[in-house]
A and B are shown apart, each in its own frame.
Chain A
């Protein structure tokens, strides 16, 4: 299957700083990328959907000014957590798809800890 990478795999940052997470599709062009958040012992919750070259579509309740998503190319999407706080500590997972009717391939996830 297709490969999706995420970087970094884990990050610790101080409260108030911003953190950028990268999601790359390594062997296919991803017109659509999804960002999910997973708190411990909970399910994956979709945060936003991004299409290459367009603004991301955020799910209800997700602050677009806090979670900045950029999908500038067909192989790269970034999620920036701005002014991070301890409650933003979570496991962030991206997935990439060649189109809405195609399979989603998941990245390995990024564990964010805000101290």
Chain B
């Protein structure tokens, strides 16, 4: 069965600290997609990244970086030099290639960055 686990419910850091949000997934498919979304207090989901199962290259986008490791079924997200504006709930999600595009979300990690 497909499942996404974000074990960290809440994380609190001080501005400029680095923070890593963990994501572990389960799937029996060999072809799948992994996502990270940010949900600020307004509620609107903000797309951050999509990674397919055949691309294990790490990705960096500004202060954001992602580490995809199939061997441990993990897709972790790191924010470097965190800022107050990074405060939000972050969701990791999984979509299997032949499940009609359905997204299975993790429980979310609420990140609070304090000044």
Interfacial residues, chain A to chain B (CB-CB below 8 A): 1, 32, 34, 42-46, 49, 57, 91, 93, 95, 97, 99-109, 111
Question: Shortest Cβ distance from A27 into chain B, in angstroms?
Answer: 16
* Stretch of B18-26, B40-48, B68-76 contacting A (4+ beta carbons < 8 Å): B40-48
Name the interface residues of B41-73: CB closer than 8 Å to any CB of A.
42-45, 47, 50
Please, which residues of chain B bring their CB within 8 A of the CB of A1? 47
Q: Is the C-beta of B115 less than 8 angstroms from some C-beta in chain A?
A: no
How far is B80's CA from A109's CA once the two chains are assembled, in angstroms?
29
**Contact-residue size bin, chain B (C-beta under 8 Å from the other chain):** 10 to 19
- How far does the alpha carbon of A28 sit from the alpha carbon of B50 in the complex, in Å? 20
Whether the pair A34, B43 counts as a contact (CB closer than 8 A) is no
For A43, list chain B residues within 8 Å (CB): 91, 105-108
What's the minimum C-beta distance from B42 to chain A, rounded to whole angstroms? 8
Tell me, rounded to whole Å, the shortest Cβ–Cβ distance linking B78 to chain A.
21
- Which B residues are CB-close (under 8 A) to A46? 102-104
Which residues of B (1-58) have their CB < 8 Å from a CB of A?
Answer: 37, 42-45, 47, 50
The answer to whether A101 touches B101, judged by C-beta atoms less than 8 angstroms apart, is yes
Closest 4 CB pairs of A and B: A100-B101, A106-B45, A108-B44, A109-B43
Closest residue of chain B to A102 (Cβ to Cβ) is B101
Residues of B within 8 A of A44 (CB): 45, 91, 103, 105
Residues of A within 8 A of B37 (CB): 106
User: What's the least CB distance linking A31 to chain B, in Å?
Assistant: 10
A44-B103, A91-B43, A109-B43 known; 8 other A-B pairs, CB under 8 Å? A34-B103, A43-B106, A44-B45, A49-B101, A49-B102, A93-B43, A109-B44, A111-B43
